[in-house]
Amino acid sequence: MEDINQRIEDLENSVNQLNAEQIRTTETLNMVLGELQSLKASLQTVTASPQAEVPFVRRSSPSIPTSQKQTTTATTNIRKDQLENLIGSNLINKIGILVTLIGVYIGAKYAIDKDLISPAMRIILGYGIASALCFLAYKLKAKYIDYSAVLMSGSISIIYFITYIAQSFYHLFTQPIAFGAMLATTVFVVSMSIWYNRKIIALLGQVGAYAIPFLLSTGNENLPVLYGYLSIINAGLLFLSFKRDWKIIYQVAFCTSWFIFLVSFLNAIDLKADFYANLILLFINFLIFYTAFLSHKIIKKELYNLVEIVILLTNAVAFYLLGYYLINTVFENEQYLTYFTLANALVHGALGFWIYRMKLADSSVSLFILGLGIAFITISVPVAFHGNTITVLWTIEALALCFIGYRTKRDAYLMLTVALLILTLGSLVLDWYKHYLFDEITSADQVTPFLNANFLSSVFVCLCLGIISSLSTKNRIDKDDFINASLTIALPFVFVLSTYGLLVQEIDLAWFVHMMTYKGEELQQFRNLSLQLFSMAYISLWFGLNIMRFKAKHFSTVLVIIGVYALFIALVGGLTEIGLLRTQYLQQKSGNALSMLGFRYLYFLFIAILLTGITRSLKQFPLSQNSKRLSSAIFNLTLLSLLCNEFIHWMDIGGYTNQYKLGLSIIGGAYALVLIFVGIRKKQKHLRIGAMVLLGITLVKLFFYDLSSLSTISKTVVLLVLGMIMLMASFLYNKFKDSIFGNEAETNL
């Protein structure tokens, strides 16, 4: 008989729930239909076209007005009624129960502080209030289910609160009994939430449960008890979140729990006392949230979204940082931090690999978790090692990820490769900064150029960068995205520049060590010139490789720009350094003449090699229609500069003065005449125009610089020579003017 009565009561409750849901659904449909009819009426007024009526069937509701005016009025009334219903029957009771809970907490704290009643009586009264609310909620559930759910959630919060203070403050319960009571309360929360099918029970119970540590905080809490309390609450609520798919409960629990952990860790007086308990409970909470995330992905086969990925990542990072802080505070040995970091990597890596092999979820989930494992392996490197070892290990990891990415055709691994390469390059720059601080080197025996750990490790890193560049080029995908551009365009340039930077710094270091051993004024010039020689040789090497093997136009463009800049530095700075060598030799009459005077021809040879690379590259990969003219201009300017410098060199050795005046003007005029002759013969207009510009510059130099200090004979000679040159140029123009200005088309070089 009791079973039949209970069954009748359950069915009546179900009918009431369904009726309430039907009323809410009908009201919502009425509102939507009113807006729909209003929009149709306005559209009919504008277009004057008939609109078909949409049939609508309602249950136990008044008929829908047909006119626009009546529809609008009905819609407005519905909205007002819904707002009033929302405030009166929904918001007020929730706010009321929260205010009641806060009042209970404040009153309890006041009673504790003033010692008004005995601890046992406080606990009994607390449980009594919770029981009264629970009984009232049970009685009102049949007719007022939402209101009853709010009362039930309040009673649950009070039960959590009372159980916590009974054990933590008064020690009326042993720890196992308190945990058992909290576990039973959590089971009760889950059961009531499922029975009521209302997330408000879980949410308000959640708020009350999580508020307890803050409302009753004295700054001297037992952290293992607190963390165990959180673990029990989280386990139950997250099970409920999964059971009913109420993700907001999972998200609130996540944010609140890690915030409590963070605050309690930072304010803890002594973390050593319960180190292992704190670490285990920290791991349990991390595992609870990890499991909650994966359960949705594995069991329900859900795809991840951005919010959930952020939660998963934050969960891993929060656990690691708090665990790192805990271990670092308790232990002085850094190896424990390394073990902890590797343990994180092992957990994520093993779990991601298991999900991938078993195909338990979408592949993006397993790849993301594997990425977390790789990230923690990356973090473990600087935790365990220092200096160049970090850079080397990160490079090896980047190479492995790149190989796996192209082998499996997964962009996720390639993205990790790019991120890791950025870290590697930053670490490499730091290594160079520490190693090449020459001011810290006080003895030549402190470092051996080209045979030191920094150079060897940097060479290995550069080789790995080259291998990754080669892999990326061979497996290039025709996609204009960040990953492809980084690995196939940016990385080759990074490889070229990093290799150049390493060798230049090591050459500079070798000269610095040599200058500490041997003293000589000319050593500084040889140091600068050797760096410029290497720069020209290095750029020329890449010109040759690109022309004969790579044949990459964009690479050629960058090389031309860099090559022209290096050529300019060589003609301006390098020839100046060579002049200083000559001056030191002539003034001191000491040193090796072959090295100090003959070094210039080795330098000229490297300039010629670099110039050949530039001109051939412009010919094979023209930048524009004027590339040949640009090549010709670079060649002629370089040749003229070398001729002028050679004239000054031998005039200086011969002891002549004013070599910058008379001779240079004659050379400039003669070179302009040759350009005119070649330009006329090969019908190259730009050469003739260039010659005229050169003649103009020579004349300006002659009248404003040369003639001011020359003797009468010198003035006569230079004027006659330049006059004859200009007359010869004019004669060539007159003789070949038909060929130059006739109908015959000129070639553009």
CA distance 486 to 483: 5
* Category of 322 on φ-ψ map: left (φ > 0), alpha (ψ -120 to 50) or beta: alpha
Q: Residue 500 has what pLDDT?
A: 94
Q: What's 409's DSSP letter?
A: T
Between CA 360 and CA 363 the distance in angstroms is 9
Q: Which of 52-66, 181-195, 240-254 has the lowest mean pLDDT?
A: 52-66
CA atoms lying within 13 Å on the CB side of residue 539: 28
The pLDDT of 704-713, averaged and rounded, is 68
Residue 398 pLDDT greater than 70, yes or no: yes
Q: Tell me, what's the pLDDT at 219?
A: 55
Two tokens, residue 466? 């080259």
Residue predicted with more confidence, 493 or 737: 493
Phi, psi of 192 (to 5 degrees): -65, -40
pLDDT confidence band for 53 (50 / 70 / 90):
very low
Contact 694, 726 (CB under 8 A): no
Q: Which of 61-65, 112-116, 261-265, 685-689 has the lowest mean pLDDT?
A: 61-65
User: Across 52-56, 156-160, 370-374, which has the greatest mean pLDDT?
Assistant: 370-374
What pLDDT sits at residue 385? 81
For 87-118, how does the pLDDT look when each residue is reduced to its tens digit (9 = 90+)? 544 566 556 666 666 666 666 666 666 776 77
> Buried b vs exposed e over 19-46: b needs ≥16 C-beta within 10 Å?
eeeeeeeebeebbebbeebeebbeeeee
Instruction: Note the pTM of the prediction, 2 decimals.
Output: 0.62
**Cβ–Cβ under 8 Å, residues 729 and 676:** yes
**Residue of 451 and 11 predicted with greater confidence:** 451
The whole-number pLDDT of residue 503 equals 94
Cα torsion 471, 475, 480, 481: sign: negative
Summarised one tens digit per residue, pLDDT across range 28-39 is: 777 677 667 666
* DSSP one-letter string for 307-371: HHHHHHHHHHHHHHHHHHHHHHHH---THHHHHHHHHHHHHHHHHHHHHHHHT-S-HHHHHHHHH
Q: State the average pLDDT over residues 113-125.
A: 76
For residue 391, pLDDT over 60 is answered with yes
Q: What is the pLDDT of residues 536-594, one digit of tens each?
A: 999 999 999 999 988 888 888 889 999 999 999 999 999 999 988 888 888 876 567 77
| Residue linked to tokens 């003609």 | 571
Q: What pLDDT shows up at residue 518?
A: 79
Mean pLDDT of the chain: 77
User: 711: which DSSP letter?
Assistant: -
- Taking 50 as the threshold, does the pLDDT of residue 196 lie above it? yes
The share of the chain scoring above pLDDT 70, in percent, equals 73
CA 191 to each of CA 210, 244, 246, 595: distance values in angstroms, whole numbers, following the listed order: 19, 12, 15, 94
Considering only residues 346 and 173, tell me which one the structure prediction assigns the higher pLDDT: 346
pLDDT of residue 389: 87
Q: Which of 620, 602, 600 is nearest to 612 (CA)?
A: 620
Most confident of 69-83, 491-505, 573-587: 491-505
Q: What pLDDT score does 668 carry?
A: 85
Higher-scoring residue by pLDDT: 315, 189: 315
Q: What is the pLDDT of residue 747?
A: 42
Residue with more model confidence, 113 or 414: 414
pLDDT (mean) for 602-609: 94
Return the pLDDT at 57.
Answer: 40
pLDDT over 80 at 645, yes or no: yes
Task: Please state, in angstroms and rounded to a whole number, the distance separating the CA atoms of residues 495 and 78.
Answer: 69
The span from the CA of 8 to the CA of 94, in Å, is 30
Residue 144 has pLDDT above 90, yes or no: no
Q: Give the Cα separation of 390 and 382 in Å (integer).
A: 6
- What pLDDT digit, counting tens, does each position of 629-642 carry? 888 899 999 999 99
Q: In which band, very low, low, confident or very high, does the pLDDT at 499 lie, cut at 50, 70 and 90?
A: very high
Q: Confidence class of residue 507 from pLDDT cuts 50, 70 and 90?
A: very high
Lowest mean pLDDT across 448-452, 517-521, 621-625 = 517-521
> Which carries the bigger pLDDT value, residue 20 or residue 695?
695
Average pLDDT over residues 478-492: 81
- pLDDT at res. 743: 43
pLDDT band, residue 62 (cuts 50/70/90): very low
d(CA 574, CA 588): 21
With b for 16 or more beta-carbon neighbours within 10 A and e for fewer, the 60-94 pattern comes to eeeeeeeeeeebbebbeebeeeeeeeeeeeeeebb
Q: Which carries the bigger pLDDT value, residue 296 or residue 669?
A: 669
